[in-house]
Structure formats: structure tokens, C-alpha cells
Amino acid sequence: MPFVTAKDGTQIFYKDWGAGQPVVFSHGWPLTADAWDPQLQLVADHGFRAIAHDRRGGGRSGQTWDGNNLDTYADDLAAVIESLDLHDVVLVGHSTGGGEVARYIGRHGTGRVAKAVLQSAIPPLMLKTAANPEGLPIDVFDRIRAGVAGDRSQFYQDLSESFYGANRPDNQVSQGIRDAFWLWSMSVGIKGAHDCVKAFSETDTTEDLRKFDIPTLIVHGDDDRIVPFVASAEKSSKIVKGATLKVYPGAPHGLAMVAPYNDTFNKDLLDFLKS
């Protein structure tokens, strides 16, 4: 399997399909690069080079004890981009992956980046604070940590319901989609999964977003039960200069895998790549 070596020696697995302008996908918590497979195939079929890596701590990448934070995740993304000597890159990040993309630009700039897509992404800040009253209270994230530390297998099975909107009327979420979520989540080490909760909930990426100087598409569902729209995409679209915001009525957090929202997202993604 192909790997790149991060600056601390951690092995980061990646998949690399097709040829053309590189589109690099960063996945959400607690998943792996496999969650992006439909979009990887889509863009590769349309003349782009599709690349996705497993975040450290899970999947086929190294399960490090330390480094489960946005700074290191961003540096790992940089290691993939630099090791493959990618230029004119389109960065696509879902959920925590969106935070990874934002922090990458904040730390490494846009010299190699042409465009960015933030889909159901965590920026600028998920945690409720005096300055961010639209966020979620800390006890929400404490319950997630308790779920990971306890019966995490059952916790992930339960989480898949709200992640994909399987509890909403007339949803089209199959058991297979929920099983895939559980499978990917269980491949993530418990330490990495636990530490990542702090990374995705308490990291403020406002200043990172201010450094975006590239075309940026922000996509979010207004029925996202994981990352509230008002605390994330709505704010990010006002911080990123010239950003295009697309709100999908009724769409859940994992909209890229759930009909009919996946078809809309795939079209919007291709249109943005070709624009």
C-alpha cells in the first residue's frame, strides 16, 4: 500500500486514482479515506487526479499516541501534498477534514492550492463560548468522549443515525451505509478517536479562514445534527472572502453519501472543479 512519511515519522496511507489536476480529499471523524470513495471515482472519471489519505490514528495510517490535533493533521496533509509534489490542488474537506483544510492553509498557505471545498465542515469553531454562542456546549463533546471510551461499537452504530439523518422522515439511508460508518469508525484507534474530539470541537480556525485567497465553495445541510449550520458554514462564508455558500434543505451531516443530496453535491463539486 502507498504511504508517505510525516515529519515525525508516522506512516500516512493514501490512495491515488486517475490523472489530471489533483483533488485532495480530507475525511471526517471518525472515518477513513474510504468514506470519499464515490467522489474519488467521480472526479477521476472526469479527468482529475483523486487523492485521499487516512488521518493518523486510524484506518491504514499509523496509530500515534500523540499528534491527534489540527496542527499535526494539517502538517500530515502537507506531507502528502509535498511528497507527491502536487500543484494547482483542489482541497476538499468534510467535517473535521474541513478543519484540516483550513488549518493547512493557515499554516502552509495557498502556494500549491487552486481552490477549496468545505463540506459540512467544522470551521470556524464548534464549541459554545461567550464569543461563539451559536456553538454546542462542552457537555455534548464530553458525551462523545464517553461514548468512545465506553462501548464505542454501539456508540458508533447509534451515531450513524443522526450522522446520515436516518431518524428523519422519508430518509433514504440504507443499513449498508450505516454498517460502513461503523466499519470505518472501528478501524480508528481509541486514542486517536478520543483526542480528535477536542481537536474538532475546541480548535478555532477563524484566523485560518482569513488566509483563504482562493475560490472557495462551502456546502452544508440545514438539517445537520452534528455540526450546526449557524455555528459553521454560515459564519465561515462571511469570513472567507468571496466564498460561495450552498445550503441543502433537509440535508444531514453525511450528505455526500445519502440520496438525494449526494447527487446534488456531486454535481456542485464537478461544476466547481471545472469552473
- Please give the positions annotated as active site: 95, 224, 253
d(CA 76, CA 115): 19
Closest CA relative to residue 34, chosen from 256, 262, 219, 200: 256
DSSP 3-state assignment of 213? Answer: coil
Closest CA relative to residue 273, chosen from 75, 40, 106: 40
Rg (CA), the chain: 17
Sign of CA pseudo-dihedral 205, 245, 30, 105: negative
Grid coordinates representing 75?
502538517
Cβ(97)–Cβ(28) below 8 Å: yes
The conformational region for residue 45 under phi > 0 = left, psi -120 to 50 = alpha, else beta, is: alpha
Distances (CA, A) of 4 to 16, 62, 76, 158: 12, 11, 9, 34
Q: Which amino acid is at 82?
A: E
Q: Which amino acid is at 116?
A: A
Length of the chain: 275
Largest CA-CA distance found in the chain, in angstroms, rounded = 47
Cβ(243)–Cβ(212) below 8 Å: yes
